Amino acid sequence: MTGDIAILGYGLSAIGPGVGIGLIFAAYVAGVARQPETRGVLQTIAILGFVLCEQLAIFGIALAFVFSGQ
Amino acid sequence: MTTTVLAAEEFEPPSAPDFWQPLVGGGAFAITRTMVVMVLSVIVLALVMMAVTRRLAVVPGRGQYRLEGVYGLVRNSIGRDIIGQDHFRPYIPLLFTLFTLILLNNLLAIVPLIQFPTMSRVGFPLALALGVYVVYLVAGVKRRGLGGFFRSLVPGGLPWWVVPIVFVLELVTFLITRPVTLTLRLFGNMFAGHILLLLFALGGEFLLLHGEGLLKVVSIPAFLMFFLFSAFEILIAFLQAYVFILLAAVYLAEVYADAH
Protein backbone atom coordinates (compact mmCIF):
# COMPACT_ATOMS: atom_id res chain seq x y z
CA MET A 1 0.00 0.00 0.00
CA THR A 2 1.52 3.26 -1.06
CA GLY A 3 0.40 6.80 -0.55
CA ASP A 4 0.74 9.72 1.75
CA ILE A 5 -0.08 9.32 5.41
CA ALA A 6 -0.53 13.06 5.69
CA ILE A 7 -3.81 12.74 3.80
CA LEU A 8 -4.94 10.00 6.19
CA GLY A 9 -4.08 12.24 9.11
CA TYR A 10 -5.99 15.13 7.64
CA GLY A 11 -9.07 12.99 7.10
CA LEU A 12 -9.03 11.81 10.69
CA SER A 13 -8.46 15.30 12.04
CA ALA A 14 -11.44 16.66 10.13
CA ILE A 15 -13.88 14.58 12.19
CA GLY A 16 -13.57 16.76 15.29
CA PRO A 17 -14.29 20.16 13.73
CA GLY A 18 -17.12 18.61 11.71
CA VAL A 19 -18.89 17.42 14.83
CA GLY A 20 -18.11 20.66 16.67
CA ILE A 21 -19.48 22.95 13.99
CA GLY A 22 -22.60 20.80 13.73
CA LEU A 23 -23.18 21.16 17.46
CA ILE A 24 -22.66 24.91 17.39
CA PHE A 25 -25.12 25.55 14.63
CA ALA A 26 -27.62 23.08 16.06
CA ALA A 27 -27.59 25.16 19.23
CA TYR A 28 -27.89 28.38 17.21
CA VAL A 29 -30.89 27.15 15.24
CA ALA A 30 -32.58 25.87 18.41
CA GLY A 31 -31.95 29.17 20.18
CA VAL A 32 -33.37 31.25 17.34
CA ALA A 33 -36.35 28.90 17.11
CA ARG A 34 -37.16 29.47 20.76
CA GLN A 35 -36.64 33.25 20.72
CA PRO A 36 -36.41 34.84 17.28
CA GLU A 37 -35.60 38.27 18.71
CA THR A 38 -32.22 37.09 20.00
CA ARG A 39 -31.09 36.31 16.48
CA GLY A 40 -28.49 39.08 16.30
CA VAL A 41 -26.79 38.30 19.60
CA LEU A 42 -26.74 34.58 18.94
CA GLN A 43 -25.37 35.14 15.46
CA THR A 44 -22.27 36.83 16.83
CA ILE A 45 -21.68 34.03 19.30
CA ALA A 46 -22.33 31.37 16.66
CA ILE A 47 -19.86 32.93 14.22
CA LEU A 48 -17.27 33.20 16.99
CA GLY A 49 -17.71 29.56 17.95
CA PHE A 50 -17.69 28.46 14.32
CA VAL A 51 -14.45 30.26 13.67
CA LEU A 52 -12.69 28.78 16.68
CA CYS A 53 -13.83 25.31 15.64
CA GLU A 54 -12.91 25.77 12.00
CA GLN A 55 -9.45 26.80 13.12
CA LEU A 56 -8.62 23.19 13.92
CA ALA A 57 -9.74 22.08 10.49
CA ILE A 58 -7.58 24.78 8.93
CA PHE A 59 -4.58 23.64 10.93
CA GLY A 60 -5.30 20.18 9.54
CA ILE A 61 -5.30 21.11 5.88
CA ALA A 62 -2.35 23.47 6.15
CA LEU A 63 -0.22 20.90 7.96
CA ALA A 64 -1.32 18.18 5.52
CA PHE A 65 0.43 20.17 2.84
CA VAL A 66 3.45 20.83 5.02
CA PHE A 67 3.90 17.20 5.96
CA SER A 68 2.97 15.66 2.63
CA GLY A 69 6.12 13.71 1.99
CA GLN A 70 8.37 16.59 1.04
CA MET B 1 5.17 14.28 -6.41
CA THR B 2 6.53 11.94 -9.02
CA THR B 3 7.36 13.42 -12.39
CA THR B 4 7.86 11.19 -15.40
CA VAL B 5 9.83 11.88 -18.51
CA LEU B 6 6.61 12.24 -20.52
CA ALA B 7 5.56 15.16 -18.35
CA ALA B 8 2.55 16.03 -20.49
CA GLU B 9 0.85 12.71 -19.75
CA GLU B 10 1.03 12.83 -15.97
CA PHE B 11 -1.27 15.08 -14.00
CA GLU B 12 0.56 17.20 -11.47
CA PRO B 13 -1.82 18.44 -8.81
CA PRO B 14 -1.29 21.99 -7.60
CA SER B 15 0.71 22.47 -4.43
CA ALA B 16 2.47 25.10 -2.39
CA PRO B 17 5.23 25.99 -4.90
CA ASP B 18 2.52 27.14 -7.32
CA PHE B 19 2.00 30.17 -5.12
CA TRP B 20 5.47 31.59 -5.73
CA GLN B 21 4.94 33.79 -8.75
CA PRO B 22 7.73 36.32 -9.22
CA LEU B 23 7.07 38.80 -11.97
CA VAL B 24 10.22 40.89 -11.97
CA GLY B 25 13.54 39.62 -10.73
CA GLY B 26 14.04 36.56 -8.61
CA GLY B 27 15.06 35.36 -5.19
CA ALA B 28 14.42 37.36 -2.05
CA PHE B 29 13.90 40.73 -3.73
CA ALA B 30 11.58 39.70 -6.52
CA ILE B 31 8.45 41.66 -7.23
CA THR B 32 5.80 38.98 -6.96
CA ARG B 33 2.25 38.88 -8.19
CA THR B 34 1.09 39.17 -4.60
CA MET B 35 2.85 42.49 -4.13
CA VAL B 36 1.32 43.91 -7.30
CA VAL B 37 -2.19 42.79 -6.32
CA MET B 38 -1.79 44.26 -2.84
CA VAL B 39 -0.63 47.61 -4.17
CA LEU B 40 -3.48 47.56 -6.67
CA SER B 41 -6.02 46.87 -3.94
CA VAL B 42 -4.71 49.70 -1.78
CA ILE B 43 -4.89 52.14 -4.70
CA VAL B 44 -8.42 51.03 -5.56
CA LEU B 45 -9.58 51.36 -1.96
CA ALA B 46 -8.04 54.80 -1.58
CA LEU B 47 -9.52 56.08 -4.84
CA VAL B 48 -12.99 54.68 -4.13
CA MET B 49 -13.15 56.06 -0.63
CA MET B 50 -11.84 59.45 -1.58
CA ALA B 51 -14.25 59.68 -4.49
CA VAL B 52 -17.25 58.64 -2.42
CA THR B 53 -16.53 60.95 0.50
CA ARG B 54 -15.72 63.97 -1.63
CA ARG B 55 -19.08 65.62 -1.14
CA LEU B 56 -20.73 64.14 1.91
CA ALA B 57 -24.43 64.89 2.11
CA VAL B 58 -26.93 64.37 4.90
CA VAL B 59 -29.13 62.54 2.42
CA PRO B 60 -26.59 60.14 0.95
CA GLY B 61 -26.18 59.29 -2.68
CA ARG B 62 -25.68 55.70 -3.80
CA GLY B 63 -21.94 55.38 -3.24
CA GLN B 64 -22.04 57.13 0.09
CA TYR B 65 -24.95 54.94 1.16
CA ARG B 66 -23.08 51.76 0.44
CA LEU B 67 -19.91 52.94 2.11
CA GLU B 68 -21.92 54.02 5.13
CA GLY B 69 -23.44 50.54 5.23
CA VAL B 70 -20.02 48.94 5.43
CA TYR B 71 -18.78 51.52 7.90
CA GLY B 72 -21.89 51.05 10.00
CA LEU B 73 -21.36 47.32 10.12
CA VAL B 74 -17.82 47.73 11.39
CA ARG B 75 -18.55 50.61 13.74
CA ASN B 76 -21.84 49.50 15.26
CA SER B 77 -22.30 45.78 15.16
CA ILE B 78 -18.61 45.01 15.75
CA GLY B 79 -17.04 48.06 17.36
CA ARG B 80 -19.77 49.38 19.61
CA ASP B 81 -21.52 46.13 20.43
CA ILE B 82 -18.39 44.15 21.24
CA ILE B 83 -15.83 46.59 22.58
CA GLY B 84 -18.42 48.62 24.44
CA GLN B 85 -19.99 52.04 24.09
CA ASP B 86 -17.31 53.98 25.95
CA HIS B 87 -14.09 52.62 24.54
CA PHE B 88 -14.63 51.66 20.95
CA ARG B 89 -13.89 54.96 19.25
CA PRO B 90 -10.07 54.81 19.00
CA TYR B 91 -10.15 51.42 17.33
CA ILE B 92 -12.56 52.10 14.51
CA PRO B 93 -9.89 53.17 11.98
CA LEU B 94 -7.96 49.98 12.63
CA LEU B 95 -11.01 47.74 12.32
CA PHE B 96 -12.36 49.49 9.23
CA THR B 97 -9.00 49.42 7.47
CA LEU B 98 -8.48 45.76 8.24
CA PHE B 99 -11.98 44.86 7.12
CA THR B 100 -11.90 46.65 3.78
CA LEU B 101 -8.34 45.57 2.99
CA ILE B 102 -8.89 41.91 3.78
CA LEU B 103 -12.27 41.89 2.04
CA LEU B 104 -10.97 43.43 -1.17
CA ASN B 105 -7.90 41.21 -1.27
CA ASN B 106 -9.99 38.12 -0.69
CA LEU B 107 -12.49 39.07 -3.37
CA LEU B 108 -9.70 39.72 -5.87
CA ALA B 109 -8.98 36.01 -5.71
CA ILE B 110 -11.93 35.33 -8.00
CA VAL B 111 -11.89 38.44 -10.15
CA PRO B 112 -10.77 37.38 -13.64
CA LEU B 113 -7.21 38.38 -14.58
CA ILE B 114 -6.28 38.94 -10.94
CA GLN B 115 -7.12 35.51 -9.67
CA PHE B 116 -4.68 35.42 -6.79
CA PRO B 117 -5.50 35.84 -3.11
CA THR B 118 -2.80 37.96 -1.50
CA MET B 119 -3.68 36.47 1.87
CA SER B 120 -2.58 33.04 0.66
CA ARG B 121 1.04 34.09 1.13
CA VAL B 122 1.51 33.85 4.88
CA GLY B 123 3.48 37.08 5.20
CA PHE B 124 0.45 39.27 4.57
CA PRO B 125 -1.91 37.86 7.21
CA LEU B 126 1.09 37.73 9.52
CA ALA B 127 1.69 41.45 9.13
CA LEU B 128 -1.96 42.27 9.77
CA ALA B 129 -2.14 39.95 12.78
CA LEU B 130 1.02 41.48 14.21
CA GLY B 131 -0.58 44.89 13.93
CA VAL B 132 -3.57 43.71 15.95
CA TYR B 133 -1.23 41.91 18.36
CA VAL B 134 0.70 45.06 19.17
CA VAL B 135 -2.50 47.08 19.57
CA TYR B 136 -4.20 44.79 22.02
CA LEU B 137 -1.06 44.21 24.09
CA VAL B 138 -0.25 47.90 24.32
CA ALA B 139 -3.88 48.74 25.11
CA GLY B 140 -3.91 46.13 27.85
CA VAL B 141 -0.67 47.33 29.43
CA LYS B 142 -1.68 50.98 29.12
CA ARG B 143 -4.99 50.40 30.84
CA ARG B 144 -3.72 48.40 33.76
CA GLY B 145 0.01 48.96 33.97
CA LEU B 146 2.49 46.16 33.48
CA GLY B 147 1.95 44.50 36.87
CA GLY B 148 -1.79 44.90 36.65
CA PHE B 149 -1.79 43.37 33.20
CA PHE B 150 -0.15 40.20 34.46
CA ARG B 151 -2.42 40.13 37.47
CA SER B 152 -5.47 40.41 35.22
CA LEU B 153 -4.50 37.22 33.41
CA VAL B 154 -5.56 35.19 36.43
CA PRO B 155 -9.17 35.61 37.51
CA GLY B 156 -9.81 36.06 41.19
CA GLY B 157 -10.97 33.41 43.59
CA LEU B 158 -8.84 30.52 42.41
CA PRO B 159 -7.06 28.08 44.77
CA TRP B 160 -3.39 28.93 45.10
CA TRP B 161 -2.06 25.87 43.32
CA VAL B 162 -4.12 26.55 40.19
CA VAL B 163 -2.87 30.10 39.77
CA PRO B 164 0.51 29.27 38.16
CA ILE B 165 -1.09 26.86 35.69
CA VAL B 166 -3.75 29.34 34.66
CA PHE B 167 -1.17 32.11 34.46
CA VAL B 168 1.05 30.16 32.10
CA LEU B 169 -1.88 29.08 29.97
CA GLU B 170 -3.23 32.60 29.71
CA LEU B 171 0.20 33.99 28.95
CA VAL B 172 0.70 31.50 26.13
CA THR B 173 -2.76 32.37 24.80
CA PHE B 174 -2.08 36.06 24.84
CA LEU B 175 1.44 36.01 23.46
CA ILE B 176 1.48 33.04 21.10
CA THR B 177 -1.87 31.45 20.33
CA ARG B 178 -3.78 34.57 19.41
CA PRO B 179 -1.50 36.02 16.72
CA VAL B 180 -0.75 32.55 15.38
CA THR B 181 -4.38 31.61 15.04
CA LEU B 182 -5.32 34.97 13.59
CA THR B 183 -2.67 34.51 10.92
CA LEU B 184 -3.26 30.86 10.20
CA ARG B 185 -7.02 31.19 10.03
CA LEU B 186 -6.91 33.80 7.27
CA PHE B 187 -3.94 32.21 5.53
CA GLY B 188 -5.31 28.67 5.68
CA ASN B 189 -8.72 29.59 4.35
CA MET B 190 -7.35 31.55 1.41
CA PHE B 191 -4.63 29.00 0.66
CA ALA B 192 -6.99 26.04 0.77
CA GLY B 193 -9.60 27.85 -1.32
CA HIS B 194 -7.11 28.75 -3.99
CA ILE B 195 -5.65 25.23 -4.06
CA LEU B 196 -9.13 23.82 -4.61
CA LEU B 197 -9.84 26.28 -7.42
CA LEU B 198 -6.51 25.41 -9.03
CA LEU B 199 -7.28 21.72 -8.66
CA PHE B 200 -10.64 22.02 -10.38
CA ALA B 201 -9.30 24.20 -13.17
CA LEU B 202 -6.12 22.24 -13.85
CA GLY B 203 -7.89 18.93 -13.42
CA GLY B 204 -10.63 19.94 -15.80
CA GLU B 205 -8.10 21.11 -18.35
CA PHE B 206 -6.09 17.91 -18.03
CA LEU B 207 -9.21 15.77 -18.41
CA LEU B 208 -10.32 17.75 -21.44
CA LEU B 209 -7.02 17.70 -23.27
CA HIS B 210 -5.43 14.44 -22.14
CA GLY B 211 -8.38 12.33 -21.12
CA GLU B 212 -9.05 9.21 -23.13
CA GLY B 213 -12.48 8.81 -24.63
CA LEU B 214 -15.30 9.26 -22.17
CA LEU B 215 -13.02 10.89 -19.58
CA LYS B 216 -13.25 14.09 -21.56
CA VAL B 217 -16.86 14.42 -20.48
CA VAL B 218 -15.81 14.41 -16.83
CA SER B 219 -14.14 17.75 -17.40
CA ILE B 220 -17.59 19.38 -17.54
CA PRO B 221 -18.36 18.68 -13.87
CA ALA B 222 -14.82 19.78 -13.06
CA PHE B 223 -15.34 23.19 -14.64
CA LEU B 224 -18.79 23.39 -13.09
CA MET B 225 -17.28 22.79 -9.67
CA PHE B 226 -14.76 25.53 -10.44
CA PHE B 227 -17.63 27.93 -11.06
CA LEU B 228 -19.61 26.85 -8.00
CA PHE B 229 -16.60 26.97 -5.76
CA SER B 230 -15.75 30.46 -6.98
CA ALA B 231 -19.20 31.53 -5.85
CA PHE B 232 -18.57 29.84 -2.50
CA GLU B 233 -15.29 31.72 -2.24
CA ILE B 234 -17.23 34.99 -2.20
CA LEU B 235 -18.92 33.85 0.98
CA ILE B 236 -15.59 32.74 2.45
CA ALA B 237 -14.05 36.10 1.55
CA PHE B 238 -16.70 38.01 3.48
CA LEU B 239 -16.65 35.57 6.35
CA GLN B 240 -12.88 35.65 6.80
CA ALA B 241 -12.70 39.43 6.74
CA TYR B 242 -15.62 39.65 9.18
CA VAL B 243 -14.10 37.06 11.49
CA PHE B 244 -10.68 38.69 11.51
CA ILE B 245 -12.00 41.97 12.80
CA LEU B 246 -14.54 40.23 15.03
CA LEU B 247 -11.71 38.49 16.84
CA ALA B 248 -9.63 41.67 16.91
CA ALA B 249 -12.60 43.41 18.52
CA VAL B 250 -13.06 40.56 21.02
CA TYR B 251 -9.40 40.75 22.04
CA LEU B 252 -9.68 44.51 22.43
CA ALA B 253 -12.90 44.15 24.39
CA GLU B 254 -11.09 41.95 26.88
CA VAL B 255 -8.82 44.88 27.68
CA TYR B 256 -11.81 46.79 28.99
CA ALA B 257 -13.70 43.90 30.56
CA ASP B 258 -12.83 44.56 34.16
CA ALA B 259 -14.91 41.60 35.22
CA HIS B 260 -11.78 39.98 36.56
DSSP string, B70-134: HHHIIIIIIIIIII-TTT-GGGHHHHHHHHHHHHHHHHTTSSTT----GGGSTHHHHHHHHHHHH
> Å from A10 to nearest chain B CA?
13
* Residue ranges making up the domain that contains A60: 12-66
Q: Considering CB atoms only, which of B15, B185, B191 is closest to A51? A: B185
B77 touches A: beta carbon within 8 Å: yes
B82 touches A: beta carbon within 8 Å: yes
Q: Which residues pair with B32 in a beta bridge?
A: B22
- Does residue B2 surpass a pLDDT of 50? no
Query: Residue A3 domain-assigned?
Result: no
| Chain A residue numbers touching B191 (CB-CB < 8 A) | 62, 65
B251 touches A: beta carbon within 8 Å: no
Query: Residue A62 domain-assigned?
Result: yes
The pLDDT of residue A70 is 52
Query: Residue A42 domain-assigned?
Result: yes
Mean pLDDT of the A30-52 span: 89
SS3 B22: strand
Query: Residue A57 domain-assigned?
Result: yes
Tally of domains within chain A: 1
The pLDDT of residue B1 is 46
Mean pLDDT of the B58-80 span: 87
Cα(B69)–Cα(B66) distance, rounded to whole angstroms?
5
Using one digit for the tens of pLDDT, what is the confidence trace for B112-171?
888 899 999 999 999 999 999 999 999 999 888 888 888 888 888 888 888 889 889 889
| Chain A residue numbers touching B185 (CB-CB < 8 A) | 51, 54-55, 58
CATH assignment at residue A28: 1.20.20.10
B14 touches A: beta carbon within 8 Å: no
Query: Residue A50 domain-assigned?
Result: yes
Q: What is the pTM of this model?
A: 0.85
> Å from A64 to nearest chain B CA?
11
A59 touches B: beta carbon within 8 Å: yes
Mean pLDDT of the B42-51 span: 93
> Å from B31 to nearest chain A CA?
25
Q: Are B174 and B182 in contact (CB under 8 A)?
A: no
Mean pLDDT of the A1-26 span: 90
The pLDDT of residue B24 is 83
A54 touches B: beta carbon within 8 Å: yes
ipTM of the complex: 0.71
Cα(B242)–Cα(B185) distance, rounded to whole angstroms?
12
Size of the A and B interface in Cβ pairs below 8 Å: 39
Using one digit for the tens of pLDDT, what is the confidence trace for B112-121?
888 899 999 9
Average pLDDT, chain B: 87
| Chain B residue numbers touching A68 (CB-CB < 8 A) | 15
Q: Considering CB atoms only, which of A47, A62, A65 is closest to B243? A: A47
> Å from A6 to nearest chain B CA?
13
Using one digit for the tens of pLDDT, what is the confidence trace for B4-27?
444 456 777 787 788 888 888 877
Nearest to A58 by CA among A10, A9, A8, A5: A10
Q: What percent of chain B has pLDDT over 90?
A: 35
